[in-house]
Amino acid sequence: MRIQELPPAEVLRALRTSAQGLPETEACRRLQEYGPNELKEVRGVPLWRRLAAQFSHFLAVVLWLAAGLAFLSEYLQPGEGMLSLGVAILAVIMVNAVFTFVQEYRAERAVAELKKLLPFQVTVLRDGSPRELPAREVVPGDVVLLEEGDKVPGDARLIAAQMLTVNNAPLTGESDPLPRTAEPFAGEYLESPNLVFAGTLVVSGRGTAVVMATGMATEFGKIAHLTGTVEPGASPLKQEIIRVSRLVSGLALVMGVGFFGLGHFLGRDFWANFLFAVGIIVANVPEGLLPTVTLALAMGSQRLAKKQALIKDLTAVEALGAVSVICSDKTGTLTQNRMAVRRLWTPPSAPGENPAAARCWHIAYFCNNARFQEGAYRGDPTEAALLQAAREAVGDLRGERLLEIPFDSERKRMTTVCRMGAETLVCTKGALELLLPRLSCWQGGAGREPLDPEKLQALQAAYHALMDEGLRVMALAWREVSPSEDPREPGDPETWERDLILAGLVGLEDSPRPEVPEAVARCRRAGIRVLMFTGDAGRTALAVAREIGLAGEGARVVEGPELKAMSDPELARLL
């Protein structure tokens, strides 16, 4: 069943529920059937088997044999110190096993950390009335009420949405808010704008959704499942230890057999000759290798733990040290994800007159879903920065929103129709390259001036100059609503986003984190290449990369179309 393709009424029928929610008795029955809405630890290898594995890997087996030979030698010829050597070897095996086992046991608690991302309380409809319930009691078929700041308790299909945006970072790693709608969608499941997923955050708006999956059946639960089922291959260090252990053990055995044969040829007593050969073998076993490596990796693991990095396998510390390329997102990783308006460009006008600037702030204010509440700006960081700049420039404005065409990643723009006093305007903000074909003129010193080639060149120059400063650039445009247009019947969005008048360009800055330049420099000194990935324009990305020391002269920027056209070998050569 492709639930994203169904209209809301059929969604309710398919999930055997209603717009008033589940009856309490049915909800209790489903809780028994599906179980609590919580992440469960995947049943893996029992603890005793994990502990036993620390005593049975190749190097441990070599040490067990060495300890056995030492005890045998002590039994046959007491007083030679072989007992102390055998005990020391056993202590080495025990220390290594305890250190490694404790570290891996701590890593298994990662599922408990994932649980913290799920909400503790959620509002659901039961018997037609809203109720606050613990998230673990939510069941498939529950109708959930979502508002700004809520975390989604389970994978759910929206049946109503009002300016709803969600942050899917727990699933995708991308922090940009995504608009959600209740309309049917014929595309891929995970890309459906009418679905919300467990653990994601409601950034703005409100919605009503029907829960489809809970607990381990959610997409979030599948991620938790992977943390316990993925078996990593042997790390480079582990492979090298095995190779060295086999080599040294083989040499020790050959030397022992060789000296035994030589002693026999020289006529030495059998037992004295045998004990000498055992001593040669035990002396050449690398019993110091295991504690040295284990303690070094444990110390590295503890240092990483202090920086909130979880190490599931001790040898992963060395594998991390073998990294040669780091691919990093820009927004929120290399930068602080705190947007602020730094520049406003408007078309040329007479000295002391700039009506386009006021229009820009009106667009920034009304084509915006951020809000100023309780002394703080709430909503998407970009929209919050625009709202703050507009309020500082022109104060609070009054108006009525009649229509909204939400931002999405393909259109790269947002449009609202607002009534502001006697005016009813279409206000649009978005990427200039996609807005440019919809512009008919700009708001210059002589009023509305057609965009001739000279003006287009000036516009592009201003756009590139702002990007070269490392700013994220958005175009602001508007037009008046004609009497024949009715916002209550929006129709095709393209009909509203036409014949627009450019008011200006606004440049927003997302400052780099102060520790990033030093981190990039340290990576370079360690021989690690750092690559930056971002959805921003190439010039903006290059300017930020230069600011943090990531890019120098001749740095290459690969944009989306070029990247998609690359074959796997070409991409491998680029990396």
pLDDT score, position 160: 92
pLDDT score, position 228: 61
Identify which of 108, 209, 214, 105 has the alpha carbon closest to the alpha carbon of residue 162.
209
**For residue 537, pLDDT beyond 70:** yes
Domain 3-40+115-227 bears CATH identifier 3.40.30.10: no
Instruction: Give the pLDDT mean for 115-140.
Output: 82
**For residue 227, pLDDT beyond 80:** no
Q: Which of 127, 329, 486, 568 is catalytic?
A: 329
Query: Known catalytic residue: 329?
Result: yes
Residue 401 half-sphere exposure, CB side, CA atoms within 13 Å? 17
Identify which of 195, 41, 168 has the alpha carbon closest to the alpha carbon of residue 105.
41
Instruction: Give the pLDDT mean for 405-419.
Output: 84
Could you give the percent of the chain with pLDDT greater than 90? Answer: 31
Q: For residue 301, what are the contacts with CB-CB under 8 A and spacing of at least 6?
A: 103, 311, 314, 317
Identify which of 331, 383, 324 has the alpha carbon closest to the alpha carbon of residue 544.
331
pLDDT band at 41; cut points 50, 70, 90:
low
pLDDT score, position 436: 92
What are the backbone dihedrals phi and psi of residue 183, each rounded to the nearest 5 degrees, phi first? Answer: -70, 145
The region that residue 350 occupies, defined by phi over 0 for left and psi between -120 and 50 for alpha, beta otherwise, is: beta
225 neighbors 242 (Cβ within 8 angstroms): no
Q: Give the pairing type, strands 325-329 and 529-533.
A: parallel
Q: Which two tokens stand for residue 293?
A: 């490596």
Could you tell me the CA-to-CA distances from 111 to 31, 115, 194, 562 in Å, in that order? 22, 6, 28, 39
Residues in the chain: 575
Helix (H, G, I), strand (E, B) or coil at 136: helix
pLDDT score, position 175: 65
pLDDT score, position 208: 94
Instruction: Give the pLDDT mean for 521-538.
Output: 86
pLDDT band at 45; cut points 50, 70, 90:
low
Fold of 325-334+513-574: Rossmann fold (3.40.50)
Bridge partners of residue 501, in order along the sequence: 441, 478
**For residue 110, pLDDT beyond 60:** no
The region that residue 187 occupies, defined by phi over 0 for left and psi between -120 and 50 for alpha, beta otherwise, is: beta
pLDDT score, position 315: 67
Alpha-carbon span 537 to 504, nearest angstrom: 18
430 neighbors 500 (Cβ within 8 angstroms): no
> Bigger pLDDT: 335 or 280?
335
Tell me the domain boundaries of the chain: 3-40+115-227, 47-107+232-321, 325-334+513-574, 339-510
pTM over cut 0.75? no
pLDDT band at 221; cut points 50, 70, 90:
confident
CATH code for the domain defined by 47-107+232-321: 1.20.1110.10
What are the backbone dihedrals phi and psi of residue 364, each rounded to the nearest 5 degrees, phi first? Answer: -60, -30
CATH code for the domain defined by 339-510: 3.40.1110.10
Helix (H, G, I), strand (E, B) or coil at 257: helix
pLDDT band at 104; cut points 50, 70, 90:
low
Taking only the tens place, the pLDDT of each residue in 332-352 is: 788 887 889 999 999 988 777
Instruction: Give the pLDDT mean for 77-104.
Output: 75
* DSSP string over 384-404: HHHHHHHHHHH-----EEEEE
Taking only the tens place, the pLDDT of each residue in 440-468 is: 999 988 889 999 999 999 999 999 999 98
pLDDT band at 393; cut points 50, 70, 90:
very high
Q: Which two tokens stand for residue 352?
A: 């002391």
* DSSP string over 284-352: HS-TTHHHHHHHHHHHHHHHHHHTT---SSTHHHHHHHT--EEEEEIIIIIEEEEEEEEEEE-----TT
Degrees, nearest 5: CA angle 338-413-504? 80
> Bigger pLDDT: 560 or 556?
556
Same topology, domains 3-40+115-227 and 47-107+232-321? Answer is: no
pLDDT score, position 311: 67
CA torsion, ordered 427, 429, 432, 436, to nearest 10 deg: -20
